[in-house]
Amino acid sequence: MEARLATPVPGRDRVNRGTTDTRHRLIEAALVEFAAHGYDGASTRAIAASAGTHQPQINYHFGSKHELWRQCLERLLTELDDTIAAHVQGISRPDEPAVLAGIVRALVTFASRRPELNRIMMHEGTAPSDRLAWLVDTHLAWRQRDLARRWNRLRDAGVAAPVPVNVVHHLLIGAASLLYANAPEARLLGLEPDASTTVTGHANGLVSMLLPGL
Amino acid sequence: MEARLATPVPGRDRVNRGTTDTRHRLIEAALVEFAAHGYDGASTRAIAASAGTHQPQINYHFGSKHELWRQCLERLLTELDDTIAAHVQGISRPDEPAVLAGIVRALVTFASRRPELNRIMMHEGTAPSDRLAWLVDTHLAWRQRDLARRWNRLRDAGVAAPVPVNVVHHLLIGAASLLYANAPEARLLGLEPDASTTVTGHANGLVSMLLPGL
DNA sequence: GTCTATAATTAGATAGAC
DNA sequence: GTCTATCTAATTATAGAC
């Protein structure tokens, strides 16, 4: 593993910043490390250093690395739901096609602003584990079923592209998020995943591909 | 990291299987481990055990974990090129739209049969590293440029969907491969990424989405 | 609640017998 | 070329001072 960070709170000793503040900084630092290097590749020392504190704080505040990871995902999925809700509420005439278009735009927007969720999902999805089983049972299954129901109705109505229901979830998530999940790679290729023109062009193109009858 | 494997060649001692045989078995085992757990998460001990040999064999045959990883990618990318070539050669009238359709079908087919390449790419693309820089320089950049040129011509001809060139590479790869890269997740969701009906439906749907004017 | 010190385990790489 | 034994460094988690 490449060297990354080693600054363990320079100078100040035993600063009490309150429990919620340290917890939030640890979660924010952890979700970035988990996203960049995967669960096994992320070290609790690097996370603590990035949060400006020391490694044993993780076990004090969360009990274990696993529980810290779990709370990172709760945070990220809450933010995703907030983003989707905001996009869907801003629709003038909310019929079914417009709502799905709003969800697609929300997925692209969120992936660009918070690439960490899709990065972690892509790391976890490559092998069975307790973490993956928890993710699927508590957060992924109902989302996949909800999209499948919407897709079936839109296919029947003739507005959706001829994509089978059993592949549409991963096709949509992959098409919407890989550019941002793999942003370090995209930047080396000369692309600009962070540019607002990139994101809006991406969202518009994906919506018109998925819903040609809109 | 979860426990996985611990069977270190039971019984037979110092069996000389020839250098190429052991090398091939190590590469095959390594690419599966790298795909499942990422570079940092994959242990050379687990790789060697899965290949039916011992951990120091990796350094004997490859010099380092990094070089083993590099040779895994050479192997996988060669197989990808073979798959694309086979799909493109089988086209009766090879005009530009038909060739791109063949490439798309090849990407979906290969992702389903050899999910390890896309898994490793998704792991590596989430953070800068020497490995990522090597991947982009020697294997990814020309592929992205080739697709961009094809896409520009097909957009001008009016057969391609209204997707900007700067996002089409990741949109296509993500849409084509996430279902198989994250197959362990998909299976927990009740999907069947390995079924031939899934793969052909996926490929057909993606082609008609990307090339509505075909 | 924060910090230092450290225990217990595991990592990749090397030396040398056969 | 294969195997055992081992070195050094890194990992997560814990004990206890302040």
- The predicted pLDDT at position B200 comes to 98
Interatomic CA distance for residues A130 and A121, integer angstroms: 13
pLDDT digits (tens, 9 = 90+) for A48-76: 999 999 999 999 999 999 999 999 999 99
> What is the pLDDT, as a whole number, of residue A11?
37
pLDDT at B13: 63
The string of pLDDT tens digits covering residues B68-110 is 999 999 999 999 999 999 999 999 998 999 999 999 999 999 9
Instruction: Please give, chain by chain, protein residues whose CB is below 7 Å from any atom of strand C.
Output: A 8-9, 12-19, 21-22, 53-57, 60-61; B 1, 14, 42-46, 55-56, 58-60, 63-66
Residue A86, pLDDT score: 97
**Nearest-CB residue to A125 (from B127, B140, B181):** B181
More confident residue, B27 or A6: B27
pLDDT at A7: 40
pLDDT of residue B14: 66
- The pLDDT of residue B145 is 98
* pTM confidence score: 0.94
Q: What is the pLDDT of residue B12?
A: 45
Name the residue facing B185 among A35, A136, A164 (closest C-beta). A136
Please give the protein residue whose CA is closest to the C1' of the nucleotide C13.
B59
Contact flag A40-B37 (C-beta cutoff 8 Å): yes
Q: What is the pLDDT of residue B2?
A: 40
For residue B8, the model assigns a pLDDT of 43
Q: Are A211 and A143 in contact (CB under 8 A)?
A: no
**Helix%, strand%, coil% for chain A, nearest 5:** 75, 0, 25
What does each C-alpha distance from A212 to A101, A154, A159, A203 come to in angstroms?
Answer: 11, 11, 6, 14
Contact at 8 Å (CB) between A166 and B198?
yes
**pLDDT tens digits, B144-164:** 999 999 999 999 999 999 999
Total count of residues recorded for chain B: 214
| Residue B49, phi then psi, degrees to nearest 5 | -60, -45
Residue with smallest Cα–C1' gap to C2: A14
The span from the CA of A61 to the CA of B54, in Å, is 40
Tens-place pLDDT, residues B49-78:
999 999 999 999 999 999 999 999 999 999
Domain ranges of chain A: 1-63, 73-210
Tell me, what's the pLDDT at B11?
37
Q: How far apart are CA B94 and CA B100, in angstroms?
A: 9
pLDDT confidence of residue A19: 74
Q: What single letter denotes the amino acid at residue A181?
A: A
| B70-210 CATH choice from 3.40.109.10, 3.10.560.10, 1.10.357.10, 1.50.10.20 | 1.10.357.10
Rounded CA separation A160/B83 (Å)? 30
C-alpha distances out from residue A155 to A97, B30, B39, B203, Å: 10, 42, 41, 17
| Amino acid, single-letter form, for residue A193 | P
Architecture of domain B1-63: Orthogonal Bundle (1.10)
Strand D footprint at Cβ < 7 Å? A 1, 14, 42-46, 55-56, 58-59, 63-66; B 8-9, 12-19, 21-22, 53-57, 60-61
Q: Which nucleotide is nearest to B14 (CA to C1')?
A: D2
pLDDT string in tens for chain A (214-residue length) = 343 443 444 334 667 766 788 999 999 999 999 999 999 999 999 999 999 999 999 999 999 999 999 999 999 999 999 999 999 999 999 899 999 999 999 999 999 999 999 999 999 999 999 999 999 999 999 999 999 999 999 999 999 999 999 999 999 999 999 999 999 999 999 999 999 999 999 999 999 999 999 8
Closest chain B CA to residue A181 = B126
- Mind telling me how many Å the CA of A213 is from chain B's nearest CA? 12
* B3 lies within 8 A of chain A by CB: no
pLDDT given for residue A18 in this prediction: 67
**CATH number corresponding to A73-210:** 1.10.357.10
